[in-house]
Amino acid sequence: MNRFSLSVEMAPMEGITTAVYRRVYRKWFEGIDRTYTPFLVANRTHKFKTREKKEIEVCSPDLVPQILTNQAEHFIWAAHELHKAGFGEINLNAGCPSATVTTKRKGAGMLDDIRALKSFLDEIFSEKEKGDLPEISIKTRVGFSSYLEAEDIADLYAKYPFSRVIVHPRIRDDFYNNVPNTEAFGIFYDRIPHEALVFNGDLKTAEDVRKICDEFPEISGIMIGRGLLADPFLPERICAGADPRGDDFSDREKKILLSFLEELYEDYERELSEATAIIKMKELWNFMAVSFPDNKKQLKAISKSRNGSEYKTAVRNGLRS
């Protein structure tokens, strides 16, 4: 059970925090209050892809589908579909910095045209007033190309009854470089109801979270992404109010981590294929590697593994060294 006073939320990460990952993660670790699907694309077909349907086939109170679109009509269609499926909240992606997304004025690209964004929000919240849509939250950056945009964006969001405003205090042009700008987050803190405000960005330790909570004591929650992938025990450490890991995982933690990784690989292999499962696990290890700075030989063996047997052996050796 989460003893932390704020909500601890798992960030949606395309191709990584999939339904398979979330399911297996929940079995082995504690501390997460809410999860979000990687973005589901809403477009003129008014159909979700098979891959996207798998993300939402199990509806639970703590799962929030995230939608990627810049067309109110398509968002409203998706909202209705997800509401019928039992979801009580949906999340608008206004934060993805990928060029393939932003060049289409989606994700963080929506922030580059504040008038178009206002028109979009006007339309979807007008529809929501009819009572047929679930709660609407938003995950956003604080600007597209300049931090000077933060005030206009925060002022805009303050006009709407978002259930959650999840702020990653970087601009799109930062991608994931530079440090999160807490001054820009403070602009949102001054304008957005605190019960709806969530901080996201570079929270890698319980101490990182404590510092944010000291600076912004009335926020509703924190969202963790890369920090959780690097250390799956991070939510537990946050909830405990301490960061006892030190320089390495304990023997108990290594056993749990090994069981988690083995089950995750097996589920991916069962659902996809051996080759795809290895690719997905190697992608995960790109994030986890920072937690094993002294295991370079074992990490190299993982990255070079060509089949399931080689991969499993490399992981076992790495976690037992």
Question: What CATH code is carried by the domain that includes residue 104?
Answer: 3.20.20.70
Q: Tell me how far apart the alpha carbons of residues 219 and 199 are, in angstroms, rounded to a whole number.
A: 8
Q: Tell me how far apart the alpha carbons of residues 204 and 315 are, in angstroms, rounded to a whole number.
A: 23
Domain count, the chain: 2
pLDDT attached to residue 245: 53
Residues 154-179: pLDDT tens digits? 999 999 999 999 999 999 999 999 99
pLDDT attached to residue 4: 65
Beta bridge partners of 36: 64
Residues 90-120: pLDDT tens digits? 999 999 999 999 999 999 999 999 999 999 9
Residues 174 and 74 both lie in one domain: yes
pLDDT attached to residue 199: 98
pLDDT attached to residue 131: 82
Last residue of a domain, one of 208, 240, 272: 240
Residues 88 and 181 both lie in one domain: yes
Token reading at 169: 């205090």
pLDDT attached to residue 63: 98
pLDDT attached to residue 244: 54
pLDDT attached to residue 242: 63
Would strands 66-68 and 40-41 be described as parallel, antiparallel, or unpaired? Answer: parallel
Q: Tell me how far apart the alpha carbons of residues 97 and 141 are, in angstroms, rounded to a whole number.
A: 9
Residue 299: which domain range? Answer: 251-320
Residues of the chain predicted below pLDDT 70: 1-4, 242-247, 321
